[in-house]
Structures are given as C-alpha cells and as structure tokens.
Amino acid sequence: MDPSILIQGAMSVFSDPLTLGFIILGVFVGIIFGAVPGLTATLALIMFLPVTYTMTPVQGLSTLIALYVGGISGGLVAAILLNIPGTPSSIATTFDGTPMAAKGQAGKALGVGVVFSFVGTIFGLIMLVTISPLLASVAIKFGAFEYCAVAVCALALVISLAGRDLVKGLMGAFFGLMIATVGLSPVDSMKRFTFGMSELTSGFALLTILIGLFAITEVAKAAEEVRQKQDMRVETNVHIKGFGFTLKEFFGQKFNALRSSIIGCIIGILPGIGGAISGMLSYTAAKNQSKYPEKFGTGIMDGIVASETANNAGIGGALIPLLTLGIPGDAVTAILLGGLMVHNIAPGPLIFEKSGVVIYGLFVALFLSAIAMLFIELFGIRVFIRVLTVPKYFLLPIIMVLCAIGAFGNSNRIFDVYSIMGFGLVGYGMIKAKIPTVPVIMGIILGPIFEMNFRRVAQLQGSGETLLSHPIAAVLTAVAVAALIFSFIMNRREAKKLAAQEAQNGAAK
C-alpha cells in the first residue's frame, strides 16, 4: 500500500463537501430502502446508479457504497418492529429482535442491531484493505488458464449454492451465458444473435439487464401483495437511551461478534451466497457455542449480534473479489461493477496501480458510511419507523418511472426501456418457476471472461501447454467439479428425504 496514494484517496473524499453530502444522503436513502419491506439494497443501487453518471468517480462510487451500507443495515428496523425482514440479510434478526420488542425492549434491540452492524462493517473494511492488495498481487500473475478456471469455479459455486434444485441453478447460469453471446464475438467480431437489429450489435447493456431482472421483477412481486391485508402496525414510541445497552453487555459479545464477522466476511467473498446465508450460519454458530442455547429465539441480544454483525461484514468480503478479480459476489456488487464500468474503472489485478486514488477513496467512503449509518440510524429511528407506514402503492409507480428513466439515460435509447420490461417479465417468470436470478447475472458477467480466455487456452494448448502445467488453474477446476458433485449428492439426499416424508404423510392419512 502506497501511503501517498492512500492520502490522496482520503483527501479526495474529505476535501469535497459534495462527496461527504452524497455519503450522508446515500446512507439515509439506503436505510429507508432497507427498512421498507419489498425495497432492498439492490433496488436502491439500481435506481440511483444513473444519478451517478455525471458525478466524479469518487463521488459516484461513494454514493453507491453508502447506499449499500445503509440498505443492508436498514433491514433490521422492519425485522425487529414488524417481524418482517426488510432485506433478506435480516431474516435471522427476526428470531430474537421481535421477541425483544414484544418484551418492551425495542429500543435495546434496535441499538444492538445498529451498533453491531457498524462493528461488522468495520471488520469487513479491515479485511478488504488487508486482503485486496495481496490478492491483486497474486492475480496479476494469472494467465488465460487461471482466468478461465476462475470463471468456471465462480459459476460452479453460484450454481451449487443457488438453492435446493441444482438443475434450476444450471438453467439460470446457461440462460445468462446465452445472453452474454448476443452481439459481437470477442476475437473475430462476428455478429451473433442480433437478428438484424443494430441495437444488439454491442449486446444488452449490463444496467438494463440488472434493472429488468431485479428492479422490475421486485416491483412486480411487490405489486402482487399490495392489495393483501398485512398487519403493518408499528410501535412508534421507541426510545433509545445512549446505544440502548451497557458497556459490559457490549464486551460480553466480543467473541460472538468476532466469530460472526469472520463468517460474514468469508461468505461475502464466496460468489452468489448472500447475506441471508451468512446471517443464518452465524446465528446457528452462536447458538451452538452458547452456554444457554435454549434462550435463543426468546429475545436475547446474542442472536441480533450474530445476524447483524455477519451480514454487514459481508459488505467488505463481497468487494474483495469484485475489485481484484472483477467477479461480483452477489447482486449488489454486480451493480457496483456496473458503477465501476460507468466511471471507466477496470476491476482486476491492476486496479490499485491504475485507479489507486479512487479505490482508496472508496475505502474511506466505506468507513465514513459506517459512521454515518451508526448515527443516522440511532438518532433518526423515528423517521424510519414512520416510513414503514407509507403504502406500497404510492412507492411502486414512482420506482417504475425512475427505472425507465435510468435505463433510457444509460445510452439515450428507447430500446433499453423495452429491454428492461422484457427482462422484467423474464425475471418474474423465473420467480414463478423458482429459478434463481443470481446465476443468470453471474453467467452474463462471467461469460465473456470465460469465452475470451477459453479461446486463448485453445491456442496455447496447440503449443504444448496443458492444465496440469498451471497448478492454480488445476486446483480451481477441481474445486468447481467438487462443488457441483457435492451439490448433486446433497440434492439427491434431500430429494430422498422429501420423498420419504411424503410417503409417511400419505400412509398416515
């Protein structure tokens, strides 16, 4: 790490009042999106990515990272007060957060969630600053074999961890790879699947795909439930004295917080798993390691600490492969990849050499976003509680219009507006068919990387080079194969268990 570049990156944030203002605004808006059930951090970044087009790279990326931090943390508000996770990352927070609120300790539950969200974010940032340069120094030695193997390994992990049905994960990934082939081929620039349409010569824009598959799909899914009666009564008289808990209670959670931070960071690094899994794993680990496991689920702070620390530590973890390898870990980092591309920053091993000032500015922005999240969420809790009562039928049309404006503003083409609607219908159909969308996005992003390097590998093999002469590539390929085989075996076992249970239920009837 070059101290001079680090100082320049820090000054690019601290010396610009606009950047500081965007960070505060981004965290505030992100918390609102995280707090309102049905609105997620993914949706917040998709909607506000077009807003960053005219900003400087530091301003734009700082705004996106602030939305990310606020969106992930904001989910705890609805999870504790409504027993509805505002974001998937806060599912495990409901297990002890809602019982604490029912016992009249809503202020304490919120305080614990906010403070340990901050702790998890800072831990993830430390890992990001420490590991990213080291991984970049290793990745700079990668060749065609290694990048091809990385793409295969990442896609295999996403498929194997996407859900219970391995076949549907494969379907999603192959659909993404198919979309990635539209346009000019990477080596000989031949037109593929353009059907005579000039708009498809350069393929589908990543932003339009993201808006369609995530934003439009989320709006359609939320619109299904908008007329269903839900108990949205919120306790508005919530007071947080200080941080809501004592210093003794804080230090009593140090091992729980450390363990959860490590789990969250590791899960964040692995592509396609997501914060919901890290929260559940850390909650389970905390319960198994606890001296009083029977109290979990009755309203104790240990469960909230485990969930919120883990899902926020995953922020820094997910940024590690994004910045150093150009491989996003989840849907949110896929949008951040789009933000990097908009500002002409190429993620990969050379990112610290070519764009060091911007990246270190991003690290500083992540730190400031964590601090802003801590104070905004603690002192503005009543504002966010009021936001929970806003009917969705007011929000959904506004979101649709903003998505269409964002798609049009990307290239000033009405074709992109039609594209987001088309991908929205596809995404909605995938939800109904229970096909995960993350493998689709990973296939679209990894497809060109794999194809380009696979063609190079084919040329190199003609000169005598093989996979065995590249140990890193061989190991990654073995991991990919092992992940798929393991997932296949686990899926078969689960299918047999379900079949046995259905047979027992049928016999009992």
**Cα–Cα nearest to 282, from 66, 107, 119, 129:** 119
Q: Would you state the pLDDT for residue 311?
A: 86
**Local structure of 192: helix, strand or coil:** strand
**Cα–Cα nearest to 347, from 492, 156, 139, 179:** 139
- The DSSP code sequence of 449-473 is HHHHHHHHHHHHHTTT--GGG-HHH
- Give me 486's structure tokens: 């393991």
Long-range residue pairs from 145-148, CB within 8 A, at least 24 positions apart, any chain? 145/453, 145/457, 145/460, 145/465, 145/467, 145/470, 145/473, 146/470, 146/472, 146/473, 146/476, 147/449, 147/453, 148/450, 148/453, 148/454, 148/456, 148/457, 148/473
The per-residue pLDDT string of the chain (509 residues; one tens digit each, 9 = 90 and over) reads 567 777 888 888 888 899 999 999 999 999 888 887 767 788 888 888 888 888 889 999 999 999 999 988 888 887 887 776 767 777 788 888 888 887 877 778 888 888 999 999 999 999 988 888 888 877 777 788 888 888 888 777 777 665 556 778 888 888 888 888 888 887 777 888 888 888 888 888 877 887 888 778 878 877 776 666 555 555 555 666 667 678 888 888 888 889 989 988 887 877 655 556 677 778 888 888 888 888 888 888 888 888 889 888 888 888 888 888 887 767 788 888 888 888 888 888 888 888 888 889 999 999 999 999 988 888 877 777 776 667 767 777 877 887 788 778 767 788 888 888 999 899 889 888 888 777 887 788 788 888 888 888 877 766 667 777 788 888 888 888 887 787 777 777 777 777 777 777 766 65
Q: Rg of the chain's alpha carbons, rounded to an integer?
A: 23
CB 34 within 8 A of CB 75: yes
Please enumerate in sequence order all residues whose Cβ is within 8 A of that of 404, keeping only pairs 6 or more positions apart, or say none: 417, 420
CA distance linking residue 474 with residue 470, whole number of Å:
6
CB 393 within 8 A of CB 179: no
Q: Would you state the pLDDT for residue 234?
A: 53
CA distance linking residue 287 with residue 260, whole number of Å:
11
Q: Tens of pLDDT along 256-300? A: 889 989 988 887 877 655 556 677 778 888 888 888 888 888 888
